[in-house]
Structure 1
Amino acid sequence: MAVLHGKYDRNANQLFVGDDAIRVLHERSLQSLPWRELGVDVVLDCTGVYGSREHGEAHIAAGAKKVLFSHPGSNDLDATVVYGVNQDQLRAEHRIVSNASCTTNCIIPVIKLLDDAYGIESGTVTTIHSAMHDQQVIDAYHPDLRRTRAASQSIIPVDTKLAAGITRFFPQFNDRFEAIAVRVPTINVTAIDLSVTVKKPVKANEVNLLLQKAAQGAFHGIVDYTELPLVSVDFNHDPHSAIVDGTQTRVSGAHLIKTLVWCDNEWGFANRMLDTTLAMATVAFR
């Protein structure tokens, strides 16, 4: 990162990446954004604030042709996509789409693989997530009492809607999946502990072989598989949605599977945002 001393001789309303200039806007109202003037085809709304159909329509009224939210949206959006699983359901008429969440993108492909192979009956998910912007640097006010505590000092349980995200993609699991989440004092990378009971008896090495083959085949680029002795920081800038840690796979009583899945919740998910944007453009503008 360059540090500038002295007078800045470039446009302060633009962000420069090499020779590419990106306009920086400061607008309170979505309707005031100059998407029409800029000729914007697809808006990637990564605010984390907006997510309703009304918000999407406001972007379109401002001149955008399509909107992709980087977070779970309301149920009346045109589609919710986990790339690698259901992007083929996108249609040209879909204008307002959600890319779900980083954790949903991580765990949905693994759940699908296990369900297709062994038939999932029920499951639990524990998300071990890095500290986030809504936590405190020092103990300070937050409406969630646990999040009043300094993020760098504690492992902090927080609410999660991941179970609802799972049943949005797999309605057959309604009331059969539960999820909890904890925030840990790291900068980046998430680990997800997935436990499922399955109908067919299975061994741990068979589960690993299934996931390894998927990573090399149908889910190449989305799911990866490793048996290296890695820790969270080793997955920084990994572009996959999910990296299965084969050393941590366990099977109890032939029907209870436990897996550990890693993801770079920033970089990996940003890659899926681009993939979904291209998929939306492909069906809309071909």
Structure 2
Amino acid sequence: THLIINGRKIRFFSTRNPAELPWRDLGVDLVMECTGSFTSKSKANVHLESGAKKVLISAPGEADVDATVVYGVNDDVITDDMTVVSNASCTTNCLSPVAKVLNENIGIVKGVMTTIHALTNDQTVTDVRHKDLRRARSGVENMIPTKTGAAKAVGLVLPELKGKLDGLAIRVPTVNVSV
């Protein structure tokens, strides 16, 4: 199937199984894995087995990815032999450049961050039963304080800050825009 934009034909595919994608036939160099379903190297390898040369995960990666990278902060760690790289989370992409500048110029001994975060697709629309009372609340009607892995993930991007940052998230009922 094709999408035509300004007379240019662009192929697109719809499948839940990336093994069915013809990356090899198309000569694909890089797959941007943005489903949130293939966040480990072992799962993202299906794209490589289908013929892609590299995979960039647009979410926090599992421990087996080759690197977690925030461009402009630690993208110099990428080497040619890396095949599956995570681009971290949106919050880690926001926090890492600021943390890098602060640490380089005045040093960070300990830090705490708070993110005001738009609701995400794992939040419920209505109040429900849940063992975590915060997760039981409707995401579209409540501000919900919760945990975030972003501060910890900065340690993957900037190893010198490993264990120095902590944080929390406040999920707010907006469709987009986080601070």
TM-score, length-normalised on structure 2? 0.89
Larger Rg: 1
CA distance in 2, matches of 1:83, 1:137: 34
Matched, 1:157 2:160: no
Paired letter, 2:148? T
1:32 and 1:145, CA in 2 relative to 1: closer, same or farther beyond 3 A? farther
Find the residue that maps to 2:127 and give its secondary structure. coil
User: Residue 106 of structure 1: which of 80, 86, 94 is its match?
Assistant: 94
**Sequence identity percentage:** 45
CA contact (8 A) 1:30 1:55 kept: no
1:156 and 1:89, CA in 2 relative to 1: closer, same or farther beyond 3 A? same
- Per the alignment, residue 221 of structure 1 pairs with none
- Per the alignment, residue 162 of structure 2 pairs with 174
Paired letter, 1:25? F
CA distance in 2, matches of 1:147, 1:16: 42
Shift of 1:21: 3.9
Paired letter, 1:152? V
Shift of 1:65: 0.7
Q: Deviations over 1:46-70 (max 9, x none)?
A: 0111111112221101010110000
Paired letter, 1:47? T
Matched, 1:147 2:135: yes
Q: Which moved more, 1:20-29 or 1:177-186?
A: 20-29
Q: Which moved more, 1:18-27 or 1:175-184?
A: 18-27
- Per the alignment, residue 61 of structure 1 pairs with 49
User: Residue 116 of structure 1: which of 88, 104, 111 is its match?
Assistant: 104
- Per the alignment, residue 197 of structure 1 pairs with none
1:103 and 1:21, CA in 2 relative to 1: closer, same or farther beyond 3 A? farther
User: Residue 79 of structure 1: which of 52, 67, 76 is its match?
Assistant: 67
Q: Which moved more, 1:106-115 or 1:49-58?
A: 49-58
CA contact (8 A) 2:32 2:58 kept: yes
Find the residue that maps to 1:120 and give its secondary structure. coil
Q: Deviations over 1:83-105 (max 9, x none)?
A: 01111222221211111111111
- Matching of residues 196-215 of structure 1 within 5 Å: none
TM-score, length-normalised on structure 1? 0.58
Q: Deviations over 1:125-181 (max 9, x none)?
A: 111001112222233466754233222211012221112201112333333211111
Alignment RMSD = 2.0
Count of aligned pairs? 179
Matched, 1:35 2:57: no
Matched, 1:131 2:119: yes
CA distance in 1, matches of 2:169, 2:146: 6
